[in-house]
Amino acid sequence: MAAPKCLIIDPMHNSLFSMLKDIGWEADYQPEITREEIKSKHIGYQGLIVRSKTTIDRELLGPNPTIKVIGRAGAGLDNLDLPYLLEKNIQVVHASEGNRDAVGEHAVGLLLSLMRNIPRANEEVKNFVWAREENRGSEIMGKTVGIIGYGNTGQAFAKRLSGFGCNVLGYDKYKSNFSDAFCKEVKMESIFEEADIVSLHIPLTGETRMLVDINYFRKFKKPIILLNTARGEIVSLADVYQALVEGYLKGAALDVLENEKLNKLTDSQKEAFNSLRERSNVIFTPHIAGWTFESHVKINVALVRKISTLTFA
């Protein structure tokens, strides 16, 4: 029997190819392929490995795909048309555990950078400004951190907070009985009541899109610091700015944005982004929380391990 073939349409670490070969798959690496080219190219392949370059849906794969499995090199599944894939009996695996450690570390880095004024202080010293009192920071110790979504990355963040002497509360609408050594499970009302810091670790769905708006911020009893290493479309930038102005937010560290094509922002998005980038209590990074040299390989390990366990009719 011929080896099943896997079309890889996004840039991947080259360790993937030998891993696929070891489980009996033939890899066809096409990281520059366009969506139009994929429409005809995918016929005859049993596997498809993707990041987020293109949406995988009926319009792309058609009514009679030969694809049997899709490997999503990352955590989110928002670029996959899951009802269509289910209809066509296409199995989906993703590597959410592959970058969880990277995301957990980055979230801690964002929090420390914001609370200790590290980016601003760095720029000032480089410009011969030695402002100690103006950059006096706050400690994580003693603060209450609310983690929204207690999956792979939420758990990784909680674990890394364990040495800071803070109180970690977790809320997950779709999980229960998940309290552990690093986090106490609570209702969302408790996070609204107690949190000093809130970190988002939830997927982008119809339910979570623009979940975090000004009405959401107004539910907190104390001004909070917001961290978002999940999906940008969960948080309204305009409402982040409004919450800062109204005092519901003390600061925000955002690794993801509602529109990450900065040269294609709408007028309202541009206005909000420009307002936020002028503030020293707002930190941006370019969707790199899960983007480390180590996670590049770990994602491949997770994907190939899951693909190796699948059986096809």
Q: DSSP letters along 89-148, please?
A: T-EEEE-TTTSHHHHHHHHHHHHHHHHTTHHHHHHHHHTT---TGGG----STT-EEEEE
Q: Nearest-CA neighbor of 76 among 173, 153, 172?
A: 153
Residue bearing tokens 């290493």: 229
Decide: 269 and 244 in contact? Cβ < 8 Å: no
CA angle 281, 287, 289 (to 5 degrees): 85
Beta bridge partners of 171: 148
Residue bearing tokens 């509602």: 258
Active site residues: 231, 260, 287
